[in-house]
Amino acid sequence: MAEDGYEDLRNKLLQVSSAKYYIEYMGGTFAYNEPSLELESEAYCKYKIFYSRAINEGFLTQDGERELLVKNMIWGDADDRDMEQMVEDAKKLRAGRSQYKFQSNKLKSIDKASKRLEEEITELLLRKNSFLSQTANYQAMQDKFQFLLKSCVEDLHGRLIWPTQEDLDVDQDMQRVNFLISKIFYERIFPESEIRKLARNEPWRTTWRLSVKTGTPLFNRSASEFTRTQSDLCHWSILYDSVYESMECPSSDVIEDDDLLNQWFVEQYEKKEGGETSSNGPTNDRIAQAQEVFIKVDTPEDAKKVYETMNTPESRRIIQSRQKALFDKGQLREDELPDVKRNISMQKTQEYIGKMKQT
Q: Assess whether the previous peptide bond of 203 is cis (omega < 30° from 0).
A: yes
- Half-sphere exposure (Cβ direction) of 130: Cα atoms closer than 13 Å: 16
pLDDT category, 276, cuts 50, 70, 90?
low
Q: Is the pLDDT of residue 277 over 70?
A: no
pLDDT per position as a tens digit, 186-236:
998 999 999 999 999 999 999 999 999 998 889 988 888 999 999 999 999
**Phi-psi group of 220: left, alpha or beta (phi > 0 → left; psi -120 to 50 → alpha; rest → beta):** left
User: 343 or 195: which carries more pLDDT confidence?
Assistant: 195
Q: Is the pLDDT of residue 324 over 50?
A: yes
Q: Is the pLDDT of residue 288 over 50?
A: no
For residue 220, the 8-state DSSP code is T
Q: Do 306 and 102 meet the contact criterion of CB atoms below 8 Å apart?
A: yes
User: What is the average pLDDT across 15-23?
Assistant: 96
What is the distance, to the nearest Å, from the Cα of residue 15 to the centroid of all Cα atoms in its chain?
A: 19
The pLDDT score that the predictor gives to residue 299 is 77
* pLDDT mean across residues, the chain: 86
Among the listed residues 92, 89, 149, 146, the one whose alpha carbon sits nearest the alpha carbon of residue 121: 89
Q: Do 230 and 16 meet the contact criterion of CB atoms below 8 Å apart?
A: yes
pLDDT category, 340, cuts 50, 70, 90?
confident
pLDDT per position as a tens digit, 106-143:
888 999 999 999 999 999 999 999 999 999 999 999 99
Q: What's this model's pTM, rounded to 2 decimal places? A: 0.73
Question: Amino acid identity, residue 58?
Answer: G
User: 329 or 305: which carries more pLDDT confidence?
Assistant: 329
C-alpha to C-alpha distance for 155 and 176, rounded to whole angstroms: 14
The pLDDT score that the predictor gives to residue 180 is 96
Percent of the chain, pLDDT > 70?
83
Q: Is the pLDDT of residue 48 over 80?
A: yes
pLDDT category, 278, cuts 50, 70, 90?
very low
Name the packing angle between helices 192-200 and 204-214 (round to 10°).
70
User: What is the average pLDDT across 326-355?
Assistant: 72
pLDDT category, 2, cuts 50, 70, 90?
low
Q: Is the pLDDT of residue 302 over 70?
A: no
The pLDDT score that the predictor gives to residue 314 is 65
pLDDT per position as a tens digit, 255-272:
999 988 998 998 888 888
Q: Is the pLDDT of residue 316 over 80?
A: no
* All structural domains of the chain with their residue ranges: 6-186, 192-214+223-274, 311-358
The pLDDT score that the predictor gives to residue 144 is 97
Q: Is the pLDDT of residue 352 over 70?
A: no
- Torsion angle, alpha carbons of 290, 296, 302, 306, to 10: -10
